[in-house]
């Protein structure tokens, strides 16, 4: 156990609290293997308290009386707090997840842009006046849904939570945020900044704990009107029936097995950087990871050779060391799963040309080598299953049609990349590849003003972008008689 274990609290109704009965979870540092923090393990009663607080804040008190501009001021203050405290936020996220400190610190500051963006939109969501006869005035209004339940995974949690918290609050909702049981401390640290900003009690609540009872109670709660979930497809299959209890609006941002298509006319130097960023950035722990490389047969061998050489230069190690390129994987079960699926694929014919195993001699056993495996079929487990780790499967294609067929041969359709100097060819391909977000001649670039989400088993609904505001509202039609005429006899047809 670490020499000093930090103790974190949940944030419910404007107060920092522990779980009922003092229940806690250990937070394991994936680089050292030591317990570095303890977080509350919420009970059903804790979650119920958080939801009821959010409901009170939505229906009474200062929050529903605030103007959109007043809500925007608070969101911008929170953005400023993220920038001010990005070092602390980065530190706890690296301790919890093993992501590189230089990335988590940068991402904490970058996440501030999401709050600034939606703060700027808070007073710009307008309704409509549909045409009508001279005696009628029709109004279309967009009103907040009520209590929002946000389920956040451990990876990129500050950014992913911002894409839910910011539009929800900008439109006047209140929210209960559930942090991942695998890594809760960044969001519990964010709660302190929320408190410093001065949001009214109950507007934002943070709970931590396992799926049962924490997530189940939250997503099935009768006062929850909207659920925003980011996580795995298997968890989503259990969550969807929960939402039947409250008929809550639901958005799902799930897994991915994203293809990167490299045509024969691509700039190989550029696409090597894009491929490396897509699969080895964040140690491949991203739903948008470019984990399937589809290379034209004429450049396949030279591209693989360059990637293998690049893997030799990737430094895996201490995530707090600025010279490290890849840190450990966040959980032991990820490493176990990667080993199992990779071994199965090799037995079926896949050929590992770089990496392929855990790295020994390090403090803890959760670092995995940057791995490249050549695949002559698309039915190998490493081609079809999301690994959430640094494993790249490589397939050849002969022509454009085969490239598209291979790209779409997946139950997932979250993201993808296309590398070609022929813009028309790239755009033709982009139109027919199944994906919620595609990059052309780049990869893993983000923008809060650009929506993202998936097709097929990668989920439904979109986050970020201006349209996300309406996803946190209900549409109301108001029809007003303005001509001064009395209501006609309903039994007389005119």
The domain that contains 87 carries what CATH number?
3.40.605.10
Query: Do 366 and 234 belong together in one domain?
Result: no
Average pLDDT over residues 248-254: 96
Strand order in the sheet with 24-28: 6-7, 35-40, 24-28
Strand partners, 204: 175
Average pLDDT over residues 30-51: 97
Determine, yes or no, domain membership for 450: no
pLDDT class of 3 with cuts at 50, 70, 90: low
Domain that holds residue 26: 6-254+458-477
Task: Give me 12's structure tokens.
Answer: 């419910």
Average pLDDT over residues 426-455: 96
CA distances from 79 to 148, 194, 358, 449, 463 (A): 20, 10, 39, 16, 18
94-142 pLDDT per residue, tens: 999 999 999 999 999 999 999 999 999 999 999 999 999 889 999 999 9
The residue whose two tokens read 């929320």 is 194
Query: Do 339 and 380 belong together in one domain?
Result: yes
pLDDT class of 485 with cuts at 50, 70, 90: confident
Query: Do 197 and 96 belong together in one domain?
Result: yes
Determine, yes or no, domain membership for 390: yes
Query: Do 229 and 286 belong together in one domain?
Result: no
Query: Do 363 and 464 belong together in one domain?
Result: no
Cβ contacts of 427 within 8 Å, gap of 6 or more: 440
Query: Do 243 and 283 belong together in one domain?
Result: no
Query: Do 176 and 278 belong together in one domain?
Result: no
Q: How many domains does the chain have?
A: 2
CA dist., res. 34 & res. 218, Å (int): 30
Question: In the predicted model, what is the mean pLDDT of the chain?
Answer: 96
Flag whether pLDDT at 488 surpasses 90: no
β pairing state of 415-419 and 437-440 = parallel
Q: What is the DSSP letter of 200?
A: P
Query: Do 250 and 277 belong together in one domain?
Result: no
**Cβ 231 vs Cβ 196: under 8 Å:** no
**Helices in 198-331 by DSSP H: which ranges?**
216-219, 233-246, 268-280, 300-313
Determine, yes or no, domain membership for 189: yes
Backbone Cα Rg of the chain: 24
DSSP per-residue letters across 344-403: HHHHHT-EEEE--SBPPSSSSS--B--EEEE-SSS-SHHHHS---SSEEEEEEESSHHHH
CA dist., res. 407 & res. 262, Å (int): 11
Strand partners, 455: 413
Query: Do 202 and 124 belong together in one domain?
Result: yes
Give the CATH number of the domain where residue 334 resides. Answer: 3.40.309.10
CA 302 to chain centre: 34
Determine, yes or no, domain membership for 451: no
Residue 357, Cβ neighbours under 10 Å: how many?
12
CA dist., res. 26 & res. 467, Å (int): 39
Query: Do 300 and 399 belong together in one domain?
Result: yes
pLDDT class of 493 with cuts at 50, 70, 90: confident
Determine, yes or no, domain membership for 453: no
At residue 192, the 3 state secondary structure works out as: helix
Strand partners, 147: 174, 224
216-249 pLDDT per residue, tens: 999 999 999 999 999 999 999 999 999 999 999 9
What percent of the chain clears pLDDT 90, i.e. is strictly above it? 96
Flag whether pLDDT at 1 surpasses 50: no
Determine, yes or no, domain membership for 492: no
pLDDT class of 175 with cuts at 50, 70, 90: very high
Determine, yes or no, domain membership for 147: yes
Task: Give me 158's structure tokens.
Answer: 């500050």
Query: Do 49 and 81 belong together in one domain?
Result: yes
pLDDT class of 2 with cuts at 50, 70, 90: very low
CA dist., res. 335 & res. 330, Å (int): 9
Least confident interval from 261-270, 324-333, 341-350, 478-487:
478-487
CA dist., res. 346 & res. 118, Å (int): 47
Average pLDDT over residues 16-31: 97
Task: Examine residue 213 and say whether the peptide bond preceding it is cis (omega within 30 degrees of 0).
Answer: yes
Determine, yes or no, domain membership for 486: no
Q: What are the residue numbers of the active site?
A: 253
Average pLDDT over residues 262-286: 97
**Cβ 145 vs Cβ 168: under 8 Å:** no
Flag whether pLDDT at 474 surpasses 60: yes
Query: Do 411 and 359 belong together in one domain?
Result: yes
CA dist., res. 217 & res. 42, Å (int): 10
At residue 193, the 3 state secondary structure works out as: helix
pTM for this one? 0.96
Which H or E run contains 412? strand 412-413
368-385 pLDDT per residue, tens: 999 999 999 999 999 999
pLDDT class of 494 with cuts at 50, 70, 90: confident
């Amino acid at each position: 156990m670490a020499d000093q274990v930090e103790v974190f609290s949940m944030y419910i109704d404007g107060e920092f609290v522990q779980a009922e009965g003092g229940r806690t979870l250990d937070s394991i540092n994936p680089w050292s293997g030591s317990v570095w923090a303890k977080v509350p393990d919420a009970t059903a009663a804790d979650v119920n308290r958080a939801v009821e607080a959010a409901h009170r804040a939505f229906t009474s008190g200062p929050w529903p009386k605030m103007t959109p501009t007043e809500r925007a001021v608070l969101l911008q203050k929170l953005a400023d707090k993220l920038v001010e405290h990005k070092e602390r936020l980065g530190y706890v996220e690296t301790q919890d997840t093993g992501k590189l400190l230089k990335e988590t610190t940068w991402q904490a500051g970058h996440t501030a842009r999401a709050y600034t963006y939606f703060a700027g939109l808070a007073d710009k969501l307008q309704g409509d006046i549909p045409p009508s006869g001279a005696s009628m005035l029709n109004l279309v209004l967009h009103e907040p849904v009520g209590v929002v339940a946000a389920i956040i995974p451990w990876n990129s949690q500050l950014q992913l939570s911002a894409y839910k918290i910011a539009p929800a609050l900008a439109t006047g909702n209140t929210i209960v945020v559930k942090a991942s049981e695998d890594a809760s401390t960044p969001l519990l640290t964010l709660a302190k900044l929320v408190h410093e900003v001065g949001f009214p009690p109950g507007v934002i609540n943070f709970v931590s704990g396992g799926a049962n009872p924490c997530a189940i109670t939250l997503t099935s709660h009768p006062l929850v009107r909207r659920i925003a979930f980011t996580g795995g497809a298997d968890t989503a299959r259990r969550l969807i029936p929960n939402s039947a209890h409250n008929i809550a609006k639901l958005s799902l941002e799930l897994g991915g097995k994203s293809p990167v298509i490299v045509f024969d006319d691509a700039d190989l130097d550029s696409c090597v950087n894009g491929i490396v960023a897509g699969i080895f950035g964040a140690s491949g722990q991203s739903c948008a990871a470019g984990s399937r490389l589809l290379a034209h047969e004429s450049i396949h061998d030279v591209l693989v050779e360059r990637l293998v050489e690049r893997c030799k230069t990737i430094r895996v190690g201490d995530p707090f060391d600025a010279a490290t390129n890849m840190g450990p994987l966040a959980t032991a079960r990820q490493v176990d799963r990667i080993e199992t699926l990779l071994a199965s694929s090799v037995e079926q014919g896949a050929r590992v040309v770089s990496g392929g195993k855990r790295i020994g001699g390090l403090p803890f056993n959760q670092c995995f080598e940057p791995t490249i495996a050549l695949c002559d079929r698309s039915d190998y487990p490493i081609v079809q299953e999301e690994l959430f780790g640094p494993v790249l499967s490589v397939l050849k294609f002969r022509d454009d049609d085969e490239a598209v067929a291979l790209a779409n041969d997946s139950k997932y359709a979250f993201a993808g990349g296309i590398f070609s100097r022929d813009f028309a060819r790239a755009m033709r391909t982009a139109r027919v590849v199944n994906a919620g977000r595609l990059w052309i001649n780049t990869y893993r670039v983000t923008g809060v003003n650009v929506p993202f989400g998936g097709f097929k088993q990668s989920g439904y609904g979109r986050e970020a972008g201006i349209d996300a505001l309406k996803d946190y509202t209900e549409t109301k039609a108001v029809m007003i008689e303005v001509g001064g005429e009395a209501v006609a006899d309903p039994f007389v047809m005119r």
